[in-house]
Amino acid sequence: METVMGNGNGQATSGGRAANAPHSDLVLPYGDQRNDGVVQVSFTLPVAAGPLAEEAARQTMKLMGLEDPQVAEATAIGEEFTFFVGYGKLTRAVELSKLRVAAPMWEELDQAAVNQLVQDTLGRPMVVVGAATGSDAHTVGLDAILNYKGFAGNRGLEAYSAFKVVNMGSQVPNEELVAKARELGADAILVSQVVTERNVHLANLTNLVELLEAEGLRDQVVLVVGGPRITHALAIELGYDAGFGPSTRPQDVASYLAQEVSRRMLN
């Protein structure tokens, strides 16, 4: 039976036996059969294609901890680089009972329940301002969460009477986002970060928190960040209230926002 515990930072820690492993919580990757440890990896080496590059690839996989490494594909990409697809076996298992997983604390609510909770809590729609900030020009994820049409039949926040949504779009300077949040009296700020080269997202996200603190707004808003490289643990570390990664649905964010605002009002 899985257990879930809060830790005071809006995080949950989960531990327990895997449902498909009744006698052991030690798990390895699945290749051709259960727990054979076979994995597929891909990478590029700055070595011209040829026997030397392939041997370098095998040694690279050994350094990853893979046994019996095999090169399945070696493709030249330019004169001095080779792209590899390889296979190997992991022998060290993950022990599920020792894992602690950070996740935002919320229960899934349907649209009617979200609308009712916000109305009961605030007596008005919750003002949500969203943007892809800094140099980030990617808005697919942000639009899926905020826009009425949502994603895969899951309506976005604009479809809820509980939210007044302002989508500022892409490449929004942090200063402009903070100014808009102050102008509108925002209850929540949603930030999308897809561009992560050289960890530019970390500096940008940190800068936003610092600006909100300098303006005296940080404690007045629910601050959420989302993106393919975002985890809740990272979000907490950077000073955010919650982080949502891949496969997040609009309903997930809506449920979290409604319950977080209600929690704050009760406290």
Active site (catalytic) residues: 149
CA separation for the pair 139, 145 (Å, rounded): 10
Which backbone phi and psi does 227 adopt, to 5 degrees?
160, 170
Which strand (E) or helix (H) includes residue 194? none
Contacts of 37 (CB under 8 A, 6+ apart): 28, 29, 31, 67, 89, 90, 91
Return the amino acid letter for 229: R
Please tell me the distance from the alpha carbon of residue 86 to that of residue 72, in angstroms, as a whole number.
5
Q: What is the 3-state secondary structure (H, E, C) of 36-50?
A: CCEEEEEEEECCCCC
Give residue for tokens 């500022």.
Answer: 168
Instruction: Give me the residue label for tokens 């030690």.
Output: 26
- Structure token digits, residue 79: 């004169």
Computed from CA positions of residues 255, 206, 175, 211, in that sequence, does the dihedral angle turn out positive or negative? positive
The answer to whether the CB of 21 falls within 8 A of the CB of 47 is: no
Q: How far apart are CA 170 and CA 250, in angstroms?
A: 19
